[in-house]
Structure 1
Amino acid sequence: MTVSRDDALVSIIMPLFNSERFVGETLDSVLAQTYGNWELVVVDDCSTDRSPDIVKAFSQRDGRDRVRLYSLASNQGAAKARQAALSYVSGDYIAYLDSDDVWLPRKLERQLEFMEGVGAAMCFTGYETIEEDGAHRNVVHVPGSMRYKDFLKQTITCSHTIMFDLERVPLDLLSEVRDVPYDYPEDLDTWLRVLKTGIVARGIDEPLAKYRRHDGSRSAAKTKAVARTWNQYTRNEGLNPLYSAYCLFWQLTHAVLKRI
């Protein structure tokens, strides 16, 4: 039986690495949520700055045992940190949040209301892109739905807008990280793995989150990002080179358009 919105526990997972400049604002955006039945699972990937201390102070300030901080023994990257976080969750829904991004106050409430209203297993939202200092850059609009083949050509989402209903999406489907000798986009790999089962991702065309662009983000290295996506298509998805090139062309085209 589907959990009612008033009872559903949302597990928020956050990988953490050297984000002391931004993580305080990120955590405040969680605390400001109008929907309060959440837990925040943070996995620190061997930060060398004050990031873990900021999370600990935030947990004490919240005072409701909703925030748990774990640490990896060695630096393994955001994907492994997320994988570790998933092993600690106990919620009915999973929501993703990076330690430099921000949610608007009604993000969780609005998504839960929408997902339960339409029976969505996977949901994403529009978002605002901001500069490193928080200045507005643009708003990214999203379609009402996307299937596997749509996603190959247009990764319109950002991970911090995505939510899964764990009654409809098995947790182990979200937990897999490939042990391969090449780089690939772990987030995209997860979303495609879910969509490949026939699940339709449903979109809310409202900017309910903010995505921060800065030089330290992994996506800032555009050439490497293209190479990772090519690996995803040709190696992980097993697509032929011609179709991979077609999908990559549209990915890049949409990436430019959503920044205008």
Structure 2
Amino acid sequence: MNNQDCLVSVVITTYKRPLFILQRAIESVLKQTHTNLEIFVVDDQPEDRQRIRQIQETIHAYKDPRLSYIGLKEHGGACKARNVGIQHANGDFIAFLDDDDCWLPQKIEKQLEGFINEDIGMVYSPYINIADQSSEKVFIPCQKSGDLTQDLLWFNCIGGCSMTLIRSKILKICGVFDESLLSCQDYDLWMRIAQCSSIQFVPFVGIKKFDRRDSITNNIHATNQGFNIFIQKYQHLYQQFPNIYNYRLNLQGYRMIRMKSFKNAWLYYKRALHVKFFSRYNILWPFRGYYHLLKITIKKHLYSANA
């Protein structure tokens, strides 16, 4: 069967998102040029009966038989919601869309073209990052195809769930989202997919990602919990590449500095020194972190002086 004829399952997970934002996500899927879709809106807010009714009425109003509502019986988090969507999926391919992101009309069509052979388990694409109403920037991932295992050890060079399209049978081989992780859930799945299949880069910008302040990546506890479990899971790989391991620990320390969690930053820095004492990253990342804070401090003082 030609990939363009295949059924694609789309899982939209939602939790406490304003209805108009969820509608934006749903409508971006309904407008896809690839029309052979089944679309599941998985609601992770079972305690709000009024919101459940509003979402169900919204879905019903579209009058599109491809669109279905799934309500979780108890709050389980985004990965639980995605895994429930996977359980309901019948498609040859599966795509995930966060409720505050949206797709451009050719997203699925173009990504399906990336599955040029059966060895490819997932494709990924660049996206437009929108920080506020006046700031849009195209983010281009690592642009590599094939075995991305070593590339992913450096950092999540693929991006989030909304940027990918996955061959469904690959999830039966490498597993689904790890619900024990508070962060790095997508990163962890990408790493497992990379170890059991090829990954293909498709140079088509088809996703709009909207930054938000309540993101998991802004939660210190969640960020550290997910990172440390990820490192432990793939310790056998990191030990083969001490330079990458050192870089990864320094990068996490840099993120902690940016989040003003200096104690955690120091702990990661010490671990990085233990992995590889003589490394340029031991100087580069702490410098970049504190330089970032210095710039913010200077800007605040200048703003206060001019106010």
- Report the TM-score, using the length of structure 1 for normalisation: 0.82
One of 6, 9, 12 as aligned partner of 2:7: 9
Distance of 1:172 and 1:57 partners within structure 2:
37
Q: What is residue 167 of structure 2 aligned with on the other side?
A: 165
How many residues align structurally?
Answer: 248
Distance of 2:173 and 2:3 partners within structure 1:
23
1:48-63 alignment to 2 at 5 Å?
A: 48=48, 52-53=52-53, 55-63=55-63
Q: Secondary structure at the match of 1:196?
A: helix
Q: What is residue 190 of structure 1 aligned with on the other side?
A: 189
Distance of 2:249 and 2:219 partners within structure 1:
16
Q: What is residue 202 of structure 1 aligned with on the other side?
A: 200
Q: Tell me the CA shift for residue 44 of structure 1.
A: 1.0
Identify which range, 116-125 or 93-102, moves more after superposition.
116-125
Q: Tell me the CA shift for residue 56 of structure 1.
A: 2.5
User: Which has more helix, going by share of residues?
Assistant: 2
Identify which range, 208-217 or 143-152, moves more after superposition.
143-152
Q: What is residue 32 of structure 1 aligned with on the other side?
A: 31
Q: Tell me the CA shift for residue 52 of structure 1.
A: 3.9
1:50-199 alignment to 2 at 5 Å?
A: 52-53=52-53, 55-116=55-116, 120-131=120-131, 134-142=133-141, 143-145=143-145, 147-156=148-157, 157-167=159-169, 169-171=170-172, 173-177=174-178, 179=180, 183-197=182-196, 199=197
Distance of 2:28 and 2:34 partners within structure 1:
12
**RMSD of the TM alignment (CA)?**
3.0
Q: Relative to 1, partners in 2 of residues 1:171 and 1:55: Cα closer, same or farther, differing over 3 Å?
A: farther
Q: Relative to 1, partners in 2 of residues 1:116 and 1:64: Cα closer, same or farther, differing over 3 Å?
A: farther
Q: Tell me the CA shift for residue 69 of structure 1.
A: 1.1
Q: Tell me the CA shift for residue 214 of structure 1.
A: 0.9
More RCO (CA 8 Å, sep 6+): 1
Q: Tell me the CA shift for residue 201 of structure 1.
A: 1.5
- The reply on whether 1:238 has 2:225 as its aligned counterpart is no
Cα-to-partner distance string for 1:195-230 (whole Å, 9 max, x where unaligned): 122x22111233210111011222233674255223
Letter aligned with residue 190 of structure 1: L
Question: Does the CA-based 8 Å contact 2:37-2:66 persist in structure 1?
Answer: yes
- Aligned-pair identity (%): 22
- Report the TM-score, using the length of structure 2 for normalisation: 0.71
